[in-house]
Structure 1
């Protein structure tokens, strides 16, 4: 290989590798293509939520942090639901279906609640084992944030305002 060709090719290869690395690091993973079955027996495919911001919240009735964040989650859902925001509360497989149903009814949860009876949703979403764990999914179906622990609602609302164009 001639010296002149090398002086052109080597920088091009380096620039190409850096561009590839930059794109790879900024690419957000797609949310898993799964369907949730709500407590009412309705099937809710992730694909049906394209075009909306979605928060998938893995929780359990015996999780103090989950219970503590529910009022804030309800309030945020009520505030943003008409602006293109959806919440799916996914109860963990070890949580009894009756406890989940009772909690959902007693607290009038206004968003879809699913019971992950076989643990498929938790496995699909990065093998969730800790509650609460939430995933924020953008309008294109990409996971833009994974949050372990209680939600910080000021930050969540800021993210929603940014992505929904609602500006506070």
Structure 2
């Protein structure tokens, strides 16, 4: 990934389903798991509880999780009322597909996860549903 793309990433802000914004700049300096998902994507929905557990267990060690919903805001709000998540969610809309592409998701498929170290550099990318083993390996990264 080009340095310009990384700089652009850290300057992005996304509206939150509950109101307000989530700023990637406010997450700089700590490891970040960035997960692109949608309510209409069964593997995305299946992995969300595991991501929530990862956030709960790893946030004391400095890990952050941000879910970027490639979806309609109303669908995301309705989904989160049924299945609340502890980690922040940003409404990326269709523009999130372009962001995912710039981070290495050339096909635009979901789910797509990017792990960024405390330095802000991409440490790992995964296309497709996460496994507990993925999260265990990533928890050791910084």
TM-score range, shorter chain: 0.7 to 0.9
Show structure 1 runs of 5+ residues with no match: 1-26, 164-168
- The answer to whether 1:152 aligns with 2:131 is yes
**RMSD (Å) for aligned C-alpha atoms:** 2.0
Is 1:59–1:66's contact at 8 Å kept on the other side of the alignment? yes
- Deviation (angstroms), 1:71: 1.4
- Deviation (angstroms), 1:100: 0.8
- Deviation (angstroms), 1:75: 0.9
Show structure 2 runs of 5+ residues with no match: none
Aligned to 2:64: 86
TM-score w.r.t. length of structure 2 = 0.83
Q: Residues 107-118 of structure 1 correspond to what in structure 2 (within 5 A)? A: 107-117=83-93
Q: Higher Cα Rg: structure 1 or 2?
A: 1
- The answer to whether 1:63 aligns with 2:41 is yes
- The answer to whether 1:51 aligns with 2:51 is no
Secondary structure (helix, strand or coil) at the match of 2:135 reads: helix
Distance in structure 2 (CA, Å) of the matches to 1:82 and 1:106:
26
TM-score w.r.t. length of structure 1 = 0.71
Distance in structure 1 (CA, Å) of the matches to 2:136 and 2:74:
32
Is 1:53–1:160's contact at 8 Å kept on the other side of the alignment? no
Distance in structure 2 (CA, Å) of the matches to 1:125 and 1:69:
18
Is 2:110–2:127's contact at 8 Å kept on the other side of the alignment? yes
How many residues were matched structurally? 133
Distance in structure 2 (CA, Å) of the matches to 1:79 and 1:47:
23
- Deviation (angstroms), 1:132: 0.3
Aligned to 1:124: 99
- Deviation (angstroms), 1:47: 1.7
